[in-house]
Chain A
Amino acid sequence: MLDTVMIQSGPLLEFGNWLQNRQFALDIVGSSWAYPYVQALHFSGLSLFVGTNLALDFNLLGLWKGRETASELCSGLILWNWIGFVIGIVGGFLLFAASAATYVINPAFRMKLVILIPVGLILHIVVQRKVLYEWSKMPEMPKIARLVGLIELLCWLSVATAAVLIPYMD
């Protein structure tokens, strides 16, 4: 309760109000076409980023396993994985800016941005480094790889769930 009151009257809300009154944010909200295109940009980036993250997690879990090893798959995906991340961040920032004051007080958005995404990102970087530089040198994937793949998969599902819950908590 105290936390909510502080946010509703604090610098975060001031920042949100300042951001959503920038011209580019007003242009997004003011146009009936800009918002869906910005949303599509965000989703396109996420498709590349989350889609390739989950593909690697499925491989680590041994689901629908082809002839590619996790390290071969990871090296093939890594460039577009991070390009997708950048596109997703740009689209996400523009969406956030359009209604920043509403987002900063939304519990689902705060959970997504402050806890789930940082945890997911750290885990993702650890998984990529382990797959590329450590586990690939072993004769076979260690059992922990499956567990880490499962945790990362659940983490991105939690991010998607928090994102879907944002309008429910407005």
Chain B
Amino acid sequence: MRSICEALQHSKTLLTILGWAPFAAGLEVIHYVGVFIMVGSFVLVDLRVMGLAARKRGVGEFAAQLFPYAWTGVAMVALSGFLMFTTSAADYYSDPSFHKKMLVTALALITAVIVQIGAPRWDRMSSIPLTAFKVVAFICLVSMFWAIIEGNLVPAVSGIG
């Protein structure tokens, strides 16, 4: 794994493409906008499950509307994030603050998948334990914002990025 990261970081082709300022700036825009779409959409579904948003709307329908947007955001974040990662892949690979960011992001996405699976059944109430489902939504919401915090801490702690 380390050797792959070393190879990515020292790839002259990637360095030439990603070192071009307009391309690098474009990647950053895609990354940030992707985060906004991903977090905004997932968190609104979580808030709906917790009874704090869109209470007049059914959970299943509200979630079905927002999840495609959220996963579009995830795709934008993953693609741009991977390309940004390659510029300092070996440094990120050995950086604990980056590991923490990725772990929290993984927790956010796993809980988001659980919410997505449970949301269509919500309107049939009896088929899922509601309190447990609200707790999962709460964990998802907290991890989404926690991932943002960890993302901002990486350059502050390690100086990478």
Contact = CB atoms under 8 A, between A and B. Distances in A.
B65 A67 contact: yes
B47 interface: yes
Contact of B148 (A35, A47, A67): A47
Contacts, number: 123
Contacts of A9: none
Contacts of B1: none
B83 interface: no
Interface stretch (A38-46, A116-124, A130-138): A38-46
Which interface residue of A36, A46, A76, A168 has the most chain B CB atoms within 10 A? A76
Interface string A133-170: 00000000000000000000000110011011100100
Interface size on A, as a range, is 35 or more
Given A51-B41, A66-B65, A76-B62, A36 B152 contact: yes
9 contacts: A44-B145, A47-B39, A50-B37, A51-B44, A55-B41, A68-B57, A77-B54, A80-B44, A160-B32
Interface string B44-66: 10011000011011000110111
B32 A52 contact: no
A59 interface: yes
Contact of A48 (B43, B54, B149, B156): B43
**Interface SS majority for chain A:** helix
Interface of A: 32-33, 35-37, 39-40, 43-44, 46-52, 54-55, 58-59, 64, 66-68, 72-73, 75-77, 79-80, 84, 156-157, 160-161, 163-165, 168
A84 B43 CA distance: 11
A20 to B, nearest CB: 19
Interface of B: 21, 25, 28-29, 32-33, 35-41, 43-44, 47-48, 53-54, 56-57, 61-62, 64-66, 68-69, 72-73, 144-145, 148-149, 151-153, 155-156
